[in-house]
Structure 1
Amino acid sequence: MTQAPILTLTLNPALDMSTEVHELVPNHKLRCTEPLLDPGGGGLNVSRAIKALGGDSLALVALSGLTGDRLAGLIRAEGVTFLSILGPGETRQSLTVKEEASGRQYRFMLPGPVWGEEERARVFTLLHATARPGGFSVISGSQPPGVPLDFPAQLAASMPESRVVLDTSGATLAEVVRNPIPGLEVLRMDGPEGEALAGKPMASREDTAHFAQALVWAGVARMVIVAQGAEGNVLADAEHRFFARAAQVKVKSTVGAGDSFVAAFVLALARGQSHADALALGSAAASAAVMTDATQLCRPEDVMRLLPECGVVEL
């Protein structure tokens, strides 16, 4: 199957460790189960899920120190094609702990090393050399400490002929809405972030779709996606507003659901599928991801089985 090139960027990756304890008790030594290790970080997870779904991508990953070396080994073991960017300091780690007694999940995220001007310039040069005209470039996950709020705009400017997909949050998301990135293809956010930007609750999917399309009409992006968790996902472009329901599944962990959505959605677009079909596949991938443990992503057999449940309606 033909596919447009996909590039993913992960500047603040993590060595993800997940384990379980019977109960979290303060001031006690807690005996954990054997930890699972996975490569982590938004863009890297997108590339991992794309490979699982039978697609191709090139992951640009900032790695440094002994943790970076270990992370590189895990990426190679999964067969993901990647280029290493020399990052500052030591690549961060993250820890996910499940409490067996309650079923609760606790996620501990370290900030990562601070980026300076030299490291940022190195990324711009590499992006300019690797982003393919007409291809898709995914900027996803947390921004590293030390970069300015408009860093995604600077990244996009270094690959002007690429279709940029941005999945971000917090102050970075607010900056993108205030000062749109020229030519941004896709902007994704979750429901609470959308409500924070709108300054009011969005009681219905129609309200959410109206908000998303208003951002499109304001020039923020050609497509805006708002994830609504267990309900589904809303997508708006200049002419249409779609809703894809989430499949009803037993939730093990929500970690990686957003990255699985982005992977399936972008892969579908890269294969020439419609916005509606891409939204359905993304919703099925997100639903599949919550069925897996900890830092694991969607399984292709689950995605295809759940796809019929993720019907798309026009709002």
Structure 2
Amino acid sequence: MRPILTLTPSPALDLSAQAPAVRPNVKLRCGVAVVEPGGGGVNVSRAVAQLGGASRCLVALGGATGAALEAGLAARGLEVMRFEAPGDTRQSLAVTSAETGEQYRFSLAGPEWGEADCQGFVEAVAQAVTPGALVVLSGSLPPGMGPEWLAPLGAAVRGAGAELVVDTSGDALKRLAAEGGADVLRMDHAEARFLSGTLLADVAEVRAFAATLTGAAPRVIVAMGAAGSVMACADGSAWHAAGADVPVVSKVGAGDSFVGGFVLALARGATPEAALQAGMAAASAAVMTPGTELCRLEDYERALPDCVLTRL
């Protein structure tokens, strides 16, 4: 099995709770909060573990919140490689209204990074990556680490003979789509619309758009929620994996669960298209769980046959 390394420069301690209703200008009394270690790469490593795999996670941690997050990862049996980050690790909050079932998600800003912090993280990546590894950069970059740092980070991964899978957004996604640097580039439907400037109303339009980006990234994946995911490849092939018809409890962590299922399948020797199907099964499993629980193996196994794979 190929080694998996996840990178999380901007983790968060995730709190989720339920309130009877969510309304402005009143004190909202929530139930007992569930506390989970979070952030893109952290969630990918958690998903990999919950699906029966293993990974190492390089995580930028600082302050008391960082210590709590690190303890949470250790309690889940994850192999943590700590990078000392400035300030205190950020937190995020998800509150579900019992009245409507709607979920409200708040993500707090993390501390500002300086150039030395950014350079140190790139050096830590270079030391951590091993030949043949699947390296996952998922989630946002911390304040002060601009998208220009993606090039040296990608060079560190490629220099070790490893493959880089990126799931990000905003300016970082825009730069990777224009200049390359990732071997697999994943985005959700809203991010694809942001890049394309169009609605991308159906699978055919999504496939055509994803194909335009394969000069920058050999494999481009666009998630369409319950409508499944599309993958376009540099060899001209394209695939669609349907989403399973499952009850939706919370969409938190579905994207990270997709990446976890996708990279674990690749690490075990699956073809990219089979990995796409595995990713969709993991995402389908994740929406069945409350809060930030991510995907459960038994739900994944039930969903996998329903995530029908089609060549486009």
TM-score by length of 2: 0.97
Match 1:150 to one of 148, 151, 159:
148
The equivalent position to 1:230 in structure 2, one of 218, 226, 230, is: 226
Distance 1:228 1:101 in 2: 27
Task: Pick which of 202-211 and 222-231 moved more.
Answer: 202-211
SS at match of 1:158: helix
Q: Distance in 2 between matches of 1:91 and 1:199?
A: 34
CA distance, structure 1, for counterparts of residue 23 and residue 277 of structure 2: 42
Work out the CA distance in 2 between the residues paired with 1:248 and 1:233. Answer: 14
- Matched letter for residue 277 of structure 1: A
2:73 maps to: 75
Q: Which residue of 2 aligns with 1:165?
A: 165
Tell me which amino acid in the other structure corresponds to 2:169: S
* SS class of match (2:273): helix
Distance 1:200 1:124 in 2: 35
**2:218 corresponds to which letter in structure 1?**
R
* CA distance, structure 2, for counterparts of residue 180 and residue 242 of structure 1: 21
Q: Secondary structure at the match of 2:185?
A: strand
Q: Distance in 2 between matches of 1:195 and 1:25?
A: 31
Amino acid at match of 1:84: R
Deviations 1:151-208 (A, max 9, x none): 2222111222210001011121111122222xx2100011122122222222221221
Cα contact 2:18–2:31 (8 A) shared by 1: yes
1:27, distance to aligned residue in structure 2 (A): 2.8
Instruction: Provide the aligned C-alpha RMSD in A.
Output: 1.0
Tell me if structure 2 keeps the 8 A contact 1:67–1:91.
yes
Q: How does 1:124-273 map to 2 (within 5 A)?
A: 124-160=122-158, 161-181=161-181, 184-216=182-214, 219-239=215-235, 240-273=237-270
Which position in structure 1 is the counterpart of 2:296? Answer: 299
Q: Deviations over 1:201-242 (max 9, x none)?
A: 2222122112112211xx211100000011000001123100
Contact persistence 1:64–1:86 (CA under 8 A) = yes
Counterpart CA distance in 2 for 1:5 and 1:55 is 10
Distance 1:20 1:159, change over 3 A: same
- Per the TM alignment, residue 137 of structure 1 is displaced from its structure 2 partner at its CA by 0.5
Question: 1:133 is matched by which residue type in structure 2?
Answer: P
Question: Structure 1 residue 28: deviation in Å?
Answer: 2.4
Specify the code of the residue in structure 1 equivalent to 2:249: K
Q: Please tell me the residue identity of whatever aligns with 1:282.
A: G
Distance 1:133 1:208 in 2: 33
Cα pair 1:150 1:176 within 8 Å, conserved: no
Q: 1:96-116: per-residue Cα shift (whole Å, max 9, x none)?
A: 111111111001100101111
Equivalent residue number for residue 86 of structure 1 = 84
User: Is the 8 Å Cα contact of residues 14 and 37 (structure 2) preserved in structure 1?
Assistant: yes
In 2, the alpha carbon distance for the partners of 1:203 and 1:18 equals 32
One-letter identity of the residue aligned with 1:228: M
CA contact (8 A) 2:118 2:149 kept: no
Note the residue ranges of structure 2 that are not aligned, 5 or more in a row: none
Q: CA deviation at 1:59?
A: 0.1
Of the structure 1 ranges 194-203 and 71-80, higher mean CA displacement relative to structure 2 is found in 194-203
Rounded to whole Å, the distance in 1 between the matches of 2:141 and 2:199 is: 27
Cα 1:214–1:27 change in 2 (3 A) is closer
Verify the 8 A CA contact 1:289 1:299 in the aligned structure 2: yes
Hey, what's the Cα distance between the residues in 2 that align with 1:179 and 1:116? 24
How far apart are 1:13 and its partner, in Å? Answer: 0.6
Distance 1:127 1:102, change over 3 A: same
Distance in 2, matches of 1:26 and 1:39, equals: 28
Determine if contact 1:52/1:300 at 8 Å carries over to the other structure. Answer: yes
- Structure 1 vs Structure 2: percent identity of aligned residues? 47
TM value normalised by structure 1? 0.96
Deviations 1:73-97 (A, max 9, x none): 1111111111111000000011111
